[in-house]
Amino acid sequence: MSSPSHRSEYKILLVLAVVSSLALLAMVWSGLVREDRSGQPGLRTTRSTNIDGMLACYELFDRLEIPVERSHRMLLAGQLDDVAVVFLIEPRIALNTGEIVELGAWIERGGTLITSADMEIVKDLAPAAADLVYVDRSSHADSGSTRTLPLSKDVEEVSLETNDVLALKVPDERTTRKTVEPLFEDAHGVRIAEHRMRLGRLILLSDSSFLANEHLGSRDNSVLAVNLVSYARSGASGRRVLFDEYHFGFGDGSQGFRLLASLLLTTSTGWSVLTLTAAGILLLLYKGRRFGPRRDLAGQRRRRSKMEYVCAVGATYRAAGAHKLTLRLIYNWFRQRAAGRTGITPTAANRLLAQELARRGRARAEEIQRTLDDCDGLLARPAVSQRQLTAALSRLAQIEKEALDGLGNGK
């Protein structure tokens, strides 16, 4: 079977590259559109230096000598000892039931939880507050003056990514002491609010981008961040400020793999990685395929016999004129091999050796014995001629093929 031309291989590779590129562009475009419509930020982790991370905020608090730490474990009782404030901003891994119970009890004892306006978390921790607040994503602006609220000190203007505001519902007479109070508002509306839970607070952020690396240095965002953490620490039972990292995947291995799988399947970058991986696997399958049918080893040309190899080595001695020495070496090698095949000693009589070889091959015992006797006769002479050596070696090679190798396959 003729081998395929390189031109056909290049065509296949070109088609594969075009299809992979189109799929990659489609997935990236789809992911970018989906992320743009959802308005969800990236990871708000304090270990990230990208635009959505919060490393700059963490460093700011640390330089102001606010005792900040990172939490890489679940938010349970042992992790919350001596903690005044917990930042749980845009978590990618949901809180479990045990964490909800422990966090609720910790807040009621005097702790403060600062979180994005994730209604699932609010519903689990404070169902009464979830009935009184929701995120309004309508892009309307109020040109009126803003009120002076607890977090408005020294803050004239902030820079946020969205116009999301917290729409606070007016409670009725039966919902006393369960209201959601505004803490900061701008021209768009209420941006930060709190809900009291006995001795502690649940602080909600409609837009957490003012804490991100990209926006922390814009306008008065850093002042608002400091006002927020200072207000949250006031009157708290503990002193430490904790930034949650566990729910970004910086915990045990199973949660990390779960987060990685989520990022691969829900982000444009993840789809890009999966597409390139699939293209690489297809390329490996294409380059690793088998060309043509399997070759039949039985149909290959017979290999040279070992006797032919020995004769070739003996040619060196013949060239030097050592005909008798050449015959003695090859004849002794032949008898040793014949003795090993038949199970008798190399010094056995020629008649016995010939009979045993004839039983195992196609040559006749008389011809084998006559060849062996002739070789013994030549070695008994003072000298051996070139013609006599060639004839003897030819007959030994024929016996080796017919008797020692059975069907003469030269093994």
> Which of 126-130, 280-284, 355-359 is most confident?
355-359
Residue 41 pLDDT exceeds 60: no
Residue 237 lies inside a defined structural domain of this protein: yes
Residue 313 in domain: yes
Same domain, 240 and 331: no
Same structural domain, 234 and 348: no
Least confident of 63-72, 134-143, 251-260, 261-270: 251-260
Pair 238, 170 in one domain: yes
Q: What pLDDT does residue 166 have? A: 85
Query: Is 207 in the same domain as 319?
Result: no
Residues 243 and 329 in one domain: no
β-partners of residue 85 are 112, 241
* Structural domain for 319, as ranges: 306-404
Q: Mind listing the pLDDT tens digit for each residue in 364-380?
A: 888 888 888 888 888 88
Number of H helices, E strands in the chain: 13, 9
- Asked whether residue 300 is domain-assigned, the answer is no
Cα–Cα separations (whole angstroms), residue 400 to 78, 267, 389: 87, 74, 16
Same domain, 222 and 138: yes
Residue 243, pLDDT score: 93
**Tokens read off for 171:** 């409670």
Angle at 171 between CA 165 and CA 172, to 5 degrees: 160
Q: Does 103 map to a domain? A: yes
Q: Which residue has the higher pLDDT, 302 or 137?
A: 137
Q: What is the distance between the alpha carbons of residues 85 and 66, in angstroms, rounded to a whole number?
A: 11
Mean pLDDT on 32-39: 43
Summarised one tens digit per residue, pLDDT across range 280-315 is 777 777 766 655 555 655 555 555 555 566 566 566
Q: Could you tell me if residue 6 is left (phi over 0), alpha (psi between -120 and 50 degrees) or otherwise beta?
A: alpha
How far is the C-alpha of 222 from the C-alpha of 314, rounded, in Å? Answer: 95
Domain boundary among 220, 251, 282: 251
Say whether both 325 and 242 belong to one domain. no
How confident is the model at residue 229, as a pLDDT?
Answer: 93
Give me the CATH number covering residue 190.
3.40.50
How far the first Cα of the chain sits from its last, in Å, is 29
Task: Kindly state whether residue 146 falls inside one of the protein's structural domains.
Answer: yes
Residues 164 and 231 in one domain: yes
Identify whether residues 232 and 311 lie together within a single domain.
Answer: no
What is the total residue count of the chain?
A: 411
Q: What is the pLDDT of residue 411?
A: 39
Q: Please give the pLDDT value at position 37.
A: 39
**How far is residue 103's CA from residue 79's CA, in Å, rounded to a whole number?**
10
Per the CB < 8 A criterion, the answer to whether 293 and 389 are in contact is no
Q: What are phi and psi of 14, to 5 degrees?
A: -65, -45
Q: Is the pLDDT of residue 51 over 50?
A: yes
Is residue 241 assigned to a domain?
yes
Buried b (16+ CB within 10 A) or exposed e, 97-119: eebbebbbebbeebbbbbbbbbe
Arithmetic mean of pLDDT, 79-96: 88
- The burial of 249, by beta-carbon neighbours within 10 Å (0-12 exposed, 13-18 middle, 19 or more buried), is given as buried
Position 5 pLDDT exceeds 60: no
pLDDT for residue 34: 46
What confidence category does residue 148 fall into, taking pLDDT thresholds of 50, 70 and 90?
A: confident
- Amino acid in the structure at residue 260: L
Residues 54 and 189 both lie in one domain: yes
**Whole-number pLDDT of residue 410:** 38
Q: Which of 232, 251, 270 is the last residue of a domain?
A: 251
Lowest mean pLDDT among 165-179, 222-236, 303-317: 303-317
CA distances from 408 to 41, 194, 240, 400 (A): 80, 98, 91, 8
Give a yes or no: residue 347 inside a domain.
yes
Cα–Cα dist 187/171, whole Å: 24
Query: Which of the two residues, 40 and 155, has the higher pLDDT score?
Result: 155
All residues at 6 or more sequence positions from 340 whose CB lies less than 8 Å from its CB, including other chains: none
CB of 129 closer than 8 Å to CB of 180: yes
Residue 164, pLDDT score: 86
35-53 mean pLDDT? 69
Taking the CB of residue 364, how many other CB atoms lie within 10 A of it?
A: 14
pLDDT at 105 over 80: yes
Give how many domains the chain has, as a whole number: 2
* The token pair that represents 379 in the structure block: 């070695």
pLDDT at 240 over 70: yes
Domain boundary among 206, 228, 251: 251
Q: Where are the alpha helices (DSSP H) in 166-267?
A: 221-233, 253-266
Q: At a CB cut-off of 8 Å and minimum separation 6, what does 245 contact?
A: 45, 46, 47, 70, 71, 72, 251
Mean pLDDT, rounded, of the chain: 77
Angle between helical axes of 323-342 and 386-399 (0-180°, round to 10): 10
91 and 231: one domain? Answer: yes
Same domain, residue pair 194 and 313: no
Rounded to an integer, the average pLDDT of 89-93 is 85
Burial code (b: 16+ CB inside 10 Å, e: under 16) for 263-296 equals beeebbebbbeebeeebeeeeeeeeeeeeeeeee
At 409, the pLDDT band (50, 70, 90 cuts) reads very low
Predicted confidence band of residue 389 (pLDDT cuts 50, 70, 90): confident
Does any domain span residue 276? no
Identify the pLDDT of residue 33: 45
What is d(CA 322, CA 359) in angstroms, rounded to the nearest whole number? 34
DSSP, collapsed to helix, strand or coil, labels residue 186 as: strand
